[in-house]
A = this chain, B = another copy of it.
């Protein structure tokens, strides 16, 4: 608690005097009527708030974005802002140096408004409102050049399809009901014994059948044989579907032509739940609050409706012609999207309420615009191996191949599945937020200006970086971190434990309050005006993440008496994938030391799997069966995993025998240095 607010509590009358005490009373007890004005820089947006309103909340209220993986409780240190004019009531935090505090930097979540203020939201901390679509589309492209049968030519036989039907005309001698004659025609056409015609379709039936002399087009949902629409033959139309990936960070939606599989449009935006907690654990915590689940459901539904609306606008597709939605996402995202309590996902024994949610009308779960559409969800395996992973398997096609393959989805959790067309086994290893730029002081997501590749000069230790989009550096993304650590290790900047060699004359190495850091970009050269560096704490975070992934891979393989050398293919999915330097990922001991040719980048496989399932009822059924057949290993209680995790807290690994190529490379580098 800051000085000013402590004083208020300790000396309400005596020192501060009655007027302040009365003010205090009104503001705290009765609710303040006085409003303060906040001007946000550089956007110039402004807002009026009551006294003591939370500053982070004010930023959100104003429609601005602010990163905060802890959901606003002061533990992640990411919501830093600078108060340029006026003062706030703030709490002290270890995330800010005394020097920074002097300059007006505060954690917005720990600050309350007590004055008219001007607040600067630093550029590199702002979550960009619209993600770079080009990048995303490329990263999650369906025909991604991966040698998988799924992606070369999509199978088109969707769950929801239309057919023409000629209904016998009634007469005095054949006076059966419209429904009876319609069902008979369907039986003769499709061989389906009994279809269900819901009341809303029945209401249209008599008119539509008579419009074009008893010839009509019907739309059937063939899982439960429900007729979801009918219209006179005259109306020319195609049917469309939506594939939806609800990522913890990003929502992606495809608008798909259900007759030729063509993707007519794709839209994406950040998952707005981010403001309530950046990772799934914080969202579950928020969901448990009074009204929390409802709120999380609301905001994500609003965004999804927004995506639908944008796709409709751009494509000019008739809303009624969108007949199905396939939803993919991790278990927590799916629970939140269907407004089902996710609480038990994070309580031992970590179970979901459901791994797949019942088919339902899109409007029943709050989706707008598309009243005809049915919604399906991808089948998950367990709490931490969700429908997004099933989508991934489907996208790789490894469920059809004899080759032993490993599927890795690298995000906050590293999800792993190993197997082939005959068996599969999966697990999830909590990697922490490092891969997504979290827990790292200069970490950012893989957006324009993120450092993704680094070259260190062997002699001067000066860094040359390349950034996403080629612009000035703003920070380091997950794949950049992996690259940097690999490069630092190879160039002798850090040792096997991830500590800086302090005796090699590296002038980019600095110490402040006992913390060592290595400057990659000087403040004057960065896009943000701040220095971009990596500290030992940052390295530690990444070491833990990479150790978890490798320990997971090893544990999974050894459980079935296999080794990494048996792997014929390794599929890498997730945001990290596209920019990842596989070589350096091996150097740091995150990925197995096998031939690089065996690695395949897959991009966003969650949306790809949803797309495949949307297009083919058969594939969707297969995906359900395959998810049900995956053996899940719970690592959180696995002692072998823990042992391997600890062994992984070295570069590349305790036992160098696991990484022969790296060992060789290190010898070479060492030789070079000695020369």
- Residues of chain A whose beta carbon lies under 8 Å from any beta carbon of chain B: 170-172, 174-180, 196-199, 202-203, 205-207, 338-341, 343-344, 348-358, 360, 364-365, 382-383, 632, 634, 637
Q: How far is the CB of A627 from chain B (nearest CB, A)?
A: 11
Are A177 and B365 interface neighbours, CB within 8 A?
Answer: no
Are A349 and B178 interface neighbours, CB within 8 A?
Answer: no
Q: A196-B358, A198-B360, A365-B199 known; A353 and B205 CB under 8 Å?
A: yes
The residue that A358 contacts in the complex, of B202, B339, B351, B632, with Cβ under 8 A, is B202
Given contacts A178-B352, A205-B354, A206-B341, 18 further A-B contacts (CB under 8 A): A170-B349, A170-B351, A174-B349, A175-B349, A175-B350, A175-B632, A175-B634, A176-B351, A177-B353, A178-B353, A199-B338, A199-B339, A199-B358, A199-B360, A199-B364, A199-B365, A202-B340, A203-B340
Collect the chain B residues with CB atoms within 8 Å of residue A634's CB.
172, 175
For A176, give the chain B residue with the smallest CB separation.
B351
In the docked arrangement, what's the CA distance between A548 and B343, Å?
Answer: 69
Are B353 and A206 interface neighbours, CB within 8 A?
Answer: yes
Q: How far is the CB of A143 from chain B (nearest CB, A)?
A: 34
Are B340 and A172 interface neighbours, CB within 8 A?
Answer: no
Collect the chain B residues with CB atoms within 8 Å of residue A205's CB.
353-354
Stoichiometry, as copies per complex, reads 2
Are B341 and A203 interface neighbours, CB within 8 A?
Answer: yes
Q: How far is the CB of A638 from chain B (nearest CB, A)?
A: 10
Are A355 and B175 interface neighbours, CB within 8 A?
Answer: no
Are A178 and B360 interface neighbours, CB within 8 A?
Answer: no
For A207, give the chain B residue with the smallest CB separation.
B341
In the docked arrangement, what's the CA distance between A205 and B339, Å?
Answer: 12
In the docked arrangement, what's the CA distance between A634 and B175, Å?
Answer: 9
Collect the chain B residues with CB atoms within 8 Å of residue A176's CB.
351
Q: A170-B351, A351-B170, A358-B197 known; A338 and B202 CB under 8 Å?
A: yes
Are A351 and B177 interface neighbours, CB within 8 A?
Answer: yes
Collect the chain B residues with CB atoms within 8 Å of residue A177's CB.
351-355, 382
Are A171 and B349 interface neighbours, CB within 8 A?
Answer: yes
Collect the chain B residues with CB atoms within 8 Å of residue A341's CB.
203, 206-207
In the docked arrangement, what's the CA distance between A174 and B632, Å?
Answer: 10
Q: How far is the CB of A637 from chain B (nearest CB, A)?
A: 6
The residue that A354 contacts in the complex, of B170, B178, B340, with Cβ under 8 A, is B178
Are B344 and A206 interface neighbours, CB within 8 A?
Answer: yes
